[in-house]
Amino acid sequence: MANVTVIGAQWGDEGKGKIVDWLSERADVVARFQGGHNAGHTLVVGDKVYKLSLLPSGIVRGTLSVIGNGVVLDPWHFRDEVAKLKGQGVDITPDNLQIAETCPLILPFHRDLDGLREDASGAGKIGTTRRGIGPAYEDKVGRRAIRVCDLAHLDDLGPQLDRLTAHHDALRAGFNEAPIDRDRLMAELREIASFILPFVKPVWLTLNKAKAEGKRILFEGAQGTLLDIDHGTYPFVTSSNTVAGTAASGTGLGPSAAGFVLGIVKAYTTRVGSGPFPTELEDATGQRLGERGHEFGTVTGRKRRCGWFDAVLVRQSVAVSGVTGIALTKLDVLDGFDTLKICTGYRIGDQTYDYLPAHAQDQAKAEPIYEDIEGWQDTTAGARSWAELPAQAIKYIRRIEELIGCPVTLVSTSPEREDTILVRDPFAD
């Protein structure tokens, strides 16, 4: 298993950026395989903070980075993010960054539609990042998308554009919006094409060659398993498959490529956007977790909802993503609590469950069944070995392992990359 696939095992924001950065130093290639610039990956390297949304985190260290076909790409955002990182001294060229030819483009009217629909949805709103992710994936599946490879064939776009605008103009009319201005769109595409095209490659070929040469590939997931379009808390999910299996289909490799699946798990639970959250704490304890954990969205700045650790949900994520081991993050946020709670099951009406049922109404009614566990008063922040952890913190970790049925591979004790306790090297398997 030379490869490692990193995925979020909760609702995103588990701290994937730091772990991917930490692993990318030993990877030969880092690949994004789903999502788009709805992600927010923060990397702290020395005294510099890098915020990435679309580019694979490996780019900061100069590792060959690829954006796979499973990603939806906003070309203008891509240009801005490249410029921002270059401004921070990161070297980005077509030699170290590749975009798959088959990525669907996120276009300005996708962003408009995302916002218009959210505004019109009242209590049913999903709380999306409003970046056009959902509408772009809809066009991909609807076989109307303009893809990255089309940027090299803009003069042949006519029939595709007919299908796309016929669909969107009907939708826009319902929102009292003007039809798509095709001339303007073509001019915008012509303008951005020259920036994007040098990065465009048959990424599936690059990755298959890398695999054949025994190179180590790191797959960087975005969002989290509970936001997966099939396995998440539907409809309050993103529009892609966020599970580890997508590492293969979202890049053009076979299913065995995923290798060691590292699930990133926060020591408590957070969620941004609408949707069920059984262990949510809307009280002073939730407030305390949010303040100590600096729980504000990287992309939208929204305050994240916070709650106790939910072992049922993580166990479910471990199962549907085939997680080999977990990286436990932000343990230090739990320092100083007298008692901690872990959710071990749900009560819905007069029935108990050891998994989250699929229906949104059941999910909304799920009441957590808690187990209390004694907290610790010493700090775990910055610990780099088990010996530096309070005994109760180790008990908390061991209990989590038992409940989710998966071992801890590493523990992250601060945003600093060196503040990490390594139990098992995922690349060594």
Residues known to be catalytic: 13, 41, 140
Contact 356, 316 (CB under 8 A): yes
d(Cα 278, Cα 364) in Å, to the nearest integer? 7
- Is there binding between residue 40 and ligand IMP (CB under 6 A)? yes
Which range, of 21-29, 33-41, 180-188, 359-367, touches ligand IMP by CB under 6 A? 33-41
- Is there binding between residue 317 and ligand IMP (CB under 6 A)? no
List the structure tokens of 390: 């309070």
Query: Considering the complex, what minimum distance in angstroms separates the CB of residue 269 from ligand IMP?
Result: 12
- Is there binding between residue 126 and ligand IMP (CB under 6 A)? yes
Measured from the Cβ of residue 56, the count of other Cβ atoms closer than 10 Å reads 29
Helix axes 75-87, 182-196, angle to 10 degrees: 40
Q: Is the peptide bond before 235 cis (omega within 30 degrees of 0)?
A: yes
Backbone angles phi, psi at 21, to 5 degrees: -60, -45
Q: Which is nearer to ligand IMP, 300 or 379 (CB)?
A: 300
Query: In the chain, what's the furthest Cα-to-Cα distance?
Result: 67
- Is there binding between residue 12 and ligand IMP (CB under 6 A)? yes
Query: Considering the complex, what minimum distance in angstroms separates the CB of residue 198 from ligand IMP?
Result: 28
Residue type, 148: V
Residue type, 425: D
Residue linked to tokens 């936001």: 227
- Is there binding between residue 246 and ligand IMP (CB under 6 A)? no
Query: Considering the complex, what minimum distance in angstroms separates the CB of residue 12 from ligand IMP?
Result: 3
- Is there binding between residue 43 and ligand IMP (CB under 6 A)? no
Binding residue for ligand IMP, selected from 27, 97, 272, 366, defined by CB under 6 A? 272
Which range, of 86-94, 123-131, 257-265, 336-344, touches ligand IMP by CB under 6 A? 123-131
- Is there binding between residue 127 and ligand IMP (CB under 6 A)? yes
- Is there binding between residue 223 and ligand IMP (CB under 6 A)? yes
- Is there binding between residue 39 and ligand IMP (CB under 6 A)? yes
d(Cα 202, Cα 98) in Å, to the nearest integer? 9
d(Cα 145, Cα 155) in Å, to the nearest integer? 16
Total length of the chain: 429
Task: Please name which of 386, 381, 372 lies closest in space to residue 331, comparing C-alpha atoms.
Answer: 381
Give contact residues for ligand IMP (rule: CB under 6 A): 11-13, 38-40, 126-129, 131, 133-134, 222-223, 227, 236, 238-239, 272-273
Annotated binding site for IMP: 13-16, 38-41, 129, 143, 223, 238, 302
Annotated binding site: 12-18, 38-42, 129, 143, 223, 238, 298-304, 330-332, 412-414
